Amino acid sequence: MVEAEPIPQHVQEKIERVHTADLVVGVLADLDPSALAALCDALRALPRTPRIAVLRDDHSPDPSPSNSPAANNSSPFLVPWPLLSPDAPDTPMLNMSSAYQSVFAASEKLGARACCVIASNLDAPSPAWVRQLAQPLLAENVDLALPFYARHKFEGLVNSSIIAPLTRCLYGRQIHNPMGPDLGVSQRLYQKMLGADRSARNGGNRLHSIASLAPAALCDNLLVCEVYLGARIYAPTDWVNISSLIAEVLSPVFLDMERNAACWQRMRASLTVPALGDPVLISEDKGTVDIRRMVESFHLGNRDLGEIWGLVLPPSTLVELRKLARLPLEQFHMPDELWIRIVFDFALAHRLRTINRDHLLQSMTPLYMAWVASYAHDLEGAGAAAVDQRLERLSVAYETGKPYLVSRWRWPDRFNP
C-alpha cells in the first residue's frame, strides 16, 4: 500500500513561509471564525510568548489573502491546510490518524518544541483550555498532555468500557482518555511517532497516530499528565455503522497490545498521573433510558453468532452468556468479570488471527451492547459520584483480571475451561 505523504506538496510552501515555530496547533474541530480568533487570543496569552503556527483544517483551494501567513506577520500564524480528507468518510479513524501525522510532520518541519491537536467541540467552550493543554508541554517538559473531559455518564462509552480501563490495566497509569482526541505532544514523542511511521514505510511496524500515542509514551516512561476540560460534544450514534466504527477504534488498540506485549506484561499496579487545572462539574441527566434495543442486539448475537463466539471465547464464558440471555430485561446485568474476560479473549483472538480480524471485532458489538445495557441499567438515575465509582470498579476488575490475560497471552493453547 502506498502511504500518503504527511505534508502534501501543495502545502509545503505554506509551511515554509512560517520558517520556525515553538508550538504547532492543528485544529481539526469545526470552529467558526470567532472561536478561531478566541483560540488564537488564548494562545497569545501563553507565557514567554512562543512563536505559534496554527494549522487550520481548510479545504478551500485558494485561501483568502488575509488568512495567509504572508499577510499575517504576528504569531500565531494561521496556515490553512486540508488536514481531514473529505473523500474518506468510511474510515474516520484512519482519516483522523493521518491528520495527526500531518500535524506531527509540520511540527518537525518547523522544529516545534511541542504540538497540540484540537479535534473536539466542547459543550461550554472556553478558549483557555487550549492554553491549558499547551502550557505543560512548553513550561513543564511534559511529553503527553491528555484531556480529562467532564463526562456525561452515557457518553464516550467505548472509551469508558474498554480503552481507558484496558490502558490503565496494561500500562499502569490511570488515564481517562488515552486516545484524546484533544491532546498535546512533545517534540520527543512526535519524533518517535514520525520515526515509526518512516520505518513502517520500509517494512517496519506502523504506529497509529492516536491509539499508539499513550502506549508509546508510557512504555518509554515519558512524562504524561491530564488536563481538566469541559464536556466534549460527541456525534450521535450511527447505529448502521457502529460495529465498523468500534472495529476501527479497537483494532489499533489490540495491535498496540501485540506490539507492546513485553512492556505491559511487566507492569503490575496502576498509578495516577498529575491532573492540571480545575475539574469541570456538569449536571447529570437523571431520566430513564431505554435499553431494549441493546439487549435485543445481544439476544440476536447470542442466537446467531454463537458459532463465531465459540471460536474466541472459552466454554465457561459461553455458558455465562447463555445464562445472561435468559435474564428478564429488568434483571439484565453483565458482571464486570465476564466483560473483561470477553475483552481479553477478543484481544487474544485478534493477536492469534483466530478468524478474520474485521469479523472478529464486528462480532464483538452485541457483547459490547450487552455491557452498555447493563451499565445503563445500573446507573439509571445515578449521579456523577456513582458514575465515577462504577467506572472505578470496572477499572479495578480489569486490573484484577490481568493475570488471566497474561496467562492466556503466554500460553494460548493451554486448556481453558
Is residue 236 at the binding interface for other proteins, with CB under 8 A as the rule? yes
> Binding residue for other proteins (CB under 8 A) from 304, 335, 383, 410?
304
Q: For other proteins, which residue of 75, 187, 363, 374 counts as binding (CB under 8 A)?
A: 363
CB of residue 364 vs other proteins: minimum separation in angstroms? 10
- In angstroms, rounded to a whole number, what is the distance separating the alpha carbons of residues 84 and 64? 19
Q: How far is the CB of 41 from other proteins (least distance, A)?
A: 30
198 or 293, CB closer to other proteins? 293
Residue 51 CB coordination number (10 Å): 18
Among 356, 389, 400, 407, binds other proteins (CB under 8 A): 356
366 contacts other proteins (rule: CB under 8 A): yes
365 is written with which cell numbers? Answer: 458489538
Of 75 and 365, the one with the shorter C-beta distance to other proteins is 365
**Is 391 among the residues that bind other proteins (CB under 8 A)?**
no
In sequence order, the 6+-apart residues with CB closer than 8 A to the CB of 387 are: 151, 153, 284, 379
Distances from the Cα of 393 to the Cαs of 96, 163, 332, 333, 397, in angstroms? Answer: 31, 15, 18, 15, 6
Query: CB of 161 within 8 A of CB of 242?
Result: no
Q: Does 237 bind other proteins (CB under 8 A)?
A: yes
289-291-297 Cα angle (round to 5): 155
When binding is defined by CB under 8 A, the residue of 367, 372, 394, 405 that contacts other proteins is: 372
Output the CA angle 74-79-83, nearest 5 degrees: 155
Q: Which is nearer to other proteins, 88 or 300 (CB)?
A: 300
Nearest 10 degrees: Cα torsion 405, 409, 411, 414: 50
Q: If binding is defined by CB under 8 A, does position 201 make contact with other proteins?
A: no
Residues that bind other proteins (rule: CB under 8 A) add up to a total of 41
What is the tally of helices (H) and strands (E) in the chain? Answer: 18, 10
**Using the rule CB under 8 A, is 224 a contact of other proteins?**
no
**Which part of the chain contacts other proteins (CB under 8 A), choosing from 12-20, 254-262, 349-357, 384-392?**
349-357
Tell me if 240 contacts other proteins by CB under 8 A: yes
Q: Which one of the spans 58-66, 100-108, 116-124, 153-161 is the region binding other proteins (CB under 8 A)?
A: 153-161
d(CA 280, CA 185): 23
Q: Considering only CA atoms, which of 374, 373, 378, 309 is closest in space to residue 341?
A: 309
Using rule CB under 8 A, residue 212 touches other proteins: no
Which span (116-124, 139-147, 304-312, 403-411) binds other proteins, by CB under 8 A? 304-312
Written as one string, the DSSP assignment of 245-261 is: HHHHHHHHHHHHHHHTH
Regarding 180 and contact with other proteins (CB under 8 A), the answer is no
Decide: 372 and 258 in contact? Cβ < 8 Å: no
Q: Which of 39, 105, 338, 376 binds other proteins (CB under 8 A)?
A: 376
* Closer residue to other proteins in complex, CB, 257/305: 305
Choice between 167 and 363, CB closer to other proteins: 363
The reply to whether 382 sits near other proteins by the rule CB under 8 A is no
Q: How far is the CB of 307 from other proteins (least distance, A)?
A: 9
Sheet containing 224-229: give its strands across.
77-81, 52-57, 23-27, 114-118, 183-186, 144-149, 224-229, 275-276
Q: Where are the beta strands (DSSP E) in 265-399?
A: 271-272, 275-276
Instruction: Rank residues 77 and 309 by Cβ distance to other proteins and give the closer one.
Output: 309
For 397, the enclosing helix (H) or strand (E) is helix 384-400
Among 95, 126, 152, 333, binds other proteins (CB under 8 A): 152
Residues that bind other proteins (CB under 8 A): 152, 154-158, 234-237, 239-240, 242-243, 245-246, 249, 285, 287, 289-290, 293, 296-297, 300-301, 303-305, 308, 311, 354-356, 359, 362-363, 365-366, 372, 376
